[in-house]
């Protein structure tokens, strides 16, 4: 019967997805995977309660109706608490909200479907299936005397239990700094490219020879783990029509590397190795570009995970400050591919028209500029039709040297003059780019990280380096890239977590018609946080945006066991049981379904922690957070929550009397 809840719930979920315009994609399928383990939770509670009434001698029909009715309110509350935590995620601003919206709706639809199945389909199936073979119904009223005795002792020493739980929560809070955090999980990719720049003036032959040597070094350095290595020398074909400097191109190259599908390594493992190999070639400027994952493309990120911006007015001062920061960061062992926006300016030829001399010869500046542009970049000569397509024709002079520019002839009617007679020609250099931010000039240093060091810890080290640099008045720095995006996303998700807890409390307060019992149940959330943080510590993983989403989900999932337990205690108290007897009996009766529902959720999430394919990192961090939290919340719910309930209920009664 319980297993029947899975296909029925999934089919119902697909129908709800269809009518709400959701499609099957990596996020909706991830939502189905997250909800799969929870689909049978409600059904387990209903079936367990039906069998418990059968064991007490009720008829099959009475057990189905009464058993479902007794737990119906608790199931509605537990399902709603899981669903409401997704509301803040759905309405998050920016790309993260758009990214997780489909997943949130999918999980919500699957849980609503499972609630419908548990309250309506399971009772009917129990009557139909068990009614046919009543002789097969095994009535074994299981009790757990050891657990009851142990829980009785815990209640007798309840204040020590609360103190121990508090110590665990506090220790886990302070251990967050040991876990480390990052913006996105480090997904494994198989493709990356290298943009190569030789010293200015290097010819195409030298560039081709260097690129060939690098290609051979890559094939040897990757030790058979490569599938394709493609190298290109010289300027790349530009089909966009963008005008580029005539001096660019021959000293540049491009290498594309694709790793084998079955390699256990990723681009993060090989890039530092190649960087060390190429360090022996002098004069090379390398930039490694990794292919973005699907998550990175959706969330959006900067060109490098670490970016330091120096902000000020004077370019010369920024140049010196940028150089100091560059020299400091290039010595950091955990960084590679360190680049500066002021690094080796682009060579340029400056042509300054002497307007006085040009005026003597009656030549306008616009005429000189037009003829010079046609000489350097070519002249539009119309178009030609070939096979039904028009192709533009550009007439261009052959390759030339700087002396050709000095002797370039400027025509003015029947007269002609050399360019050097009308203008001053000089060779100089300019910054590769002049970055502005709010009308301030910016010097930028970018870098990539080696290994698996968390970005927050690396940012602290960089800040300590920057604090040693004497910043002139009016100049400041800021760390951007993954660190800035991590802080912004964690800030918004922290608010989402707080709002989720408030919504969970409101749902439970309306269900129990009490302000004390929902607070008792909410204490399960910090207990769940203990396991989540411990899981990341044990596995050596860092907190990231996906793990934070898992923590928000945990706020709704972890309280489900406590809701079932507290509801059972309240029912026994209404039947006249004493407080301690009600607590111990309810915990004993709900021990089996609580453990079973937690195990089904944990086992359903285990495949996500292992992960398959390049997108596995997107789901594994979320699953680890939920599994770790459920392990401790389940164990501590069976021990700590009864003690907390006993204390609060006793205090509430004293206050009323």
- Show me where the domains of the chain are located: 1-141, 191-345+438-481, 347-430
Give me the CATH topology for the region 347-430: 3.30.2090
Q: What pLDDT shows up at residue 653?
A: 67
CB 504 within 8 A of CB 88: no
Q: Would you place residue 293 in the very low, low, confident or very high pLDDT band (cuts 50, 70, 90)?
A: low
Short-list 12, 113, 115, 127, CA closest to 71: 115
* pLDDT tens figures, 360-405: 888 888 888 888 887 777 777 777 877 777 777 777 766 666 666 7
Q: Would you place residue 238 in the very low, low, confident or very high pLDDT band (cuts 50, 70, 90)?
A: very low
- What percent of the chain is predicted at pLDDT more than 70? 86
Enumerate the β-bridge partners of residue 296. none
191-345+438-481 shares the fold of 1-141: no
Q: Would you place residue 50 in the very low, low, confident or very high pLDDT band (cuts 50, 70, 90)?
A: confident
Short-list 85, 75, 179, 122, CA closest to 568: 75
Q: What is the mean pLDDT of the chain?
A: 80
The lowest-confidence range among 299-303, 344-348, 499-503, 543-547 is 299-303
Q: What pLDDT shows up at residue 344?
A: 59
d(CA 4, CA 43): 9
Short-list 178, 174, 169, 166, CA closest to 537: 178
Span 1-141 CATH architecture: Up-down Bundle (1.20)
Secondary structure of 306-355 in HEC code, one letter for each residue: EEEEEEECCHHHHHHHHHHHHHHHCCCCCEEEEEECCCCCEEEEEEEECH
Q: What pLDDT shows up at residue 247?
A: 45
d(CA 307, CA 296): 17
pLDDT, average across residues 625-649: 90
Q: What pLDDT shows up at residue 534?
A: 92
pTM above 0.85, yes or no: no
Give the CATH superfamily of 191-345+438-481.
Multidrug efflux transporter AcrB pore domain (3.30.70.1430)
Residue 448's φ and ψ, nearest 5 degrees, are: -110, 160
pLDDT for residue 178 is more than 50: yes
* pLDDT tens figures, 540-567: 888 888 888 888 888 888 888 888 889 8
Extract the tokens encoding 242.
Answer: 């963008």
pLDDT, average across residues 63-80: 87
Q: Where are the alpha helices (DSSP H) in 330-396?
A: 355-360, 365-377
Number of residues that this document lists for the chain: 657
């Amino acid at each position: 019967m319980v297993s029947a809840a899975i296909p029925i719930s999934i089919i119902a979920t697909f129908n709800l997805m269809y009518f709400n315009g959701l499609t099957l994609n990596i996020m909706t399928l991830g939502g189905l995977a997250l909800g799969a383990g929870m689909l049978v939770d409600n059904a387990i509670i209903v079936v367990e309660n039906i069998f418990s009434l059968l064991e007490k001698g009720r008829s099959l029909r009475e057990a189905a109706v009464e058993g479902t009715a007794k737990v119906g309110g608790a199931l509605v509350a537990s399902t709603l608490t899981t669903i409401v935590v997704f509301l803040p995620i759905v309405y998050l601003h920016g790309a993260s909200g758009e990214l997780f919206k489909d997943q949130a709706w999918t999980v919500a639809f699957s849980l609503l479907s499972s609630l419908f199945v548990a309250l309506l389909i399971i009772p009917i199936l129990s009557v139909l299936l068990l009614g046919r073979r009543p002789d097969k119904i095994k009535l074994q009223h299981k009790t757990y005397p050891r657990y009851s005795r142990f829980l009785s002792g815990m209640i007798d020493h309840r204040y020590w239990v609360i103190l121990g739980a508090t110590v665990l929560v506090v220790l886990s809070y302070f251990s967050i700094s040991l876990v480390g955090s990052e913006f996105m999980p480090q997904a494994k990719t198989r493709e990356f490219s290298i943009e190569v720049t030789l010293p200015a003036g290097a010819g195409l032959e030298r560039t081709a020879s260097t690129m060939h040597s690098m290609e051979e070094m890559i094939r040897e350095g990757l030790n058979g783990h490569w599938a394709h290595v493609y190298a290109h020398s010289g300027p790349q074909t530009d089909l966009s029509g963008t005008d580029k400097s005539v001096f660019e191109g021959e000293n540049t190259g491009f290498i594309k590397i694709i790793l084998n599908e079955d390699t256990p390594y990723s681009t993060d493992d090989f890039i530092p190795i190649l960087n060390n190999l190429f360090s022996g070639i002098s004069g090379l400027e390398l930039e490694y570009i990794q292919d973005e994952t699907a998550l990175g493309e959706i969330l959006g990120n900067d060109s490098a995970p670490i970016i330091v911006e120096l902000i000020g007015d004077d370019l010369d001062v920024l140049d010196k400050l940028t150089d100091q920061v560059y020299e400091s960061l290039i010595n950091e062992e955990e960084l590679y591919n360190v680049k500066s926006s002021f690094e080796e300016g682009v060579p340029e030829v400056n042509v300054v028209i002497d307007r006085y001399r040009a005026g003597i010869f009656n030549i306008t500046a616009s005429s000189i500029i037009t003829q010079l542009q046609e000489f350097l970049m070519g002249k539009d000569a119309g178009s030609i039709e070939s096979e039904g397509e028009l192709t533009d024709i550009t007439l261009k002079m052959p390759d030339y040297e700087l002396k050709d520019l000095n002797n370039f002839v400027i025509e003015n009617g029947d007269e002609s003059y050399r360019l050097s007679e009308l203008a001053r020609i000089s060779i100089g250099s300019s910054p590769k780019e002049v970055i502005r931010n709010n009308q301030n000039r910016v010097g930028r240093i970018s870098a990539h990280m080696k290994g698996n060091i968390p970005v927050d810890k690396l940012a602290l080290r960089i800040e300590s380096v920057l604090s040693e640099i004497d910043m002139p008045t009016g100049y400041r720095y800021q760390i951007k890239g993954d660190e800035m995006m991590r802080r912004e996303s964690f800030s918004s998700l922290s608010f989402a977590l707080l709002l989720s807890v408030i919504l969970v409390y409101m749902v439970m307060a309306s269900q129990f018609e009490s302000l004390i019992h929902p607070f008792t149940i909410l204490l399960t959330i910090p207990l769940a946080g203990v396991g989540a943080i411990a899981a990341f510590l044990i596995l050596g993983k860092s907190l990231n945006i996906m793990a934070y989403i898992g923590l928000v989900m945990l706020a709704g999932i972890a309280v489900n066991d406590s809701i079932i337990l507290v509801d059972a205690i309240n029912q026994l108290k209404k039947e006249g049981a004493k407080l301690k007897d009600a607590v111990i009996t309810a915990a004993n009766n709900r021990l089996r379904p609580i453990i079973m529902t937690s195990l089904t959720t944990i086992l359903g999430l285990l495949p996500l922690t292992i992960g398959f394919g390049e997108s596995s990192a997107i789901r594994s961090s979320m699953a680890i957070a939920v599994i770790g939290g459920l392990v401790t919340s389940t164990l501590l719910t069976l021990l700590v929550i009864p003690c907390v309930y006993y204390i609060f209920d006793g205090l509430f009664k004293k206050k009323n009397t």
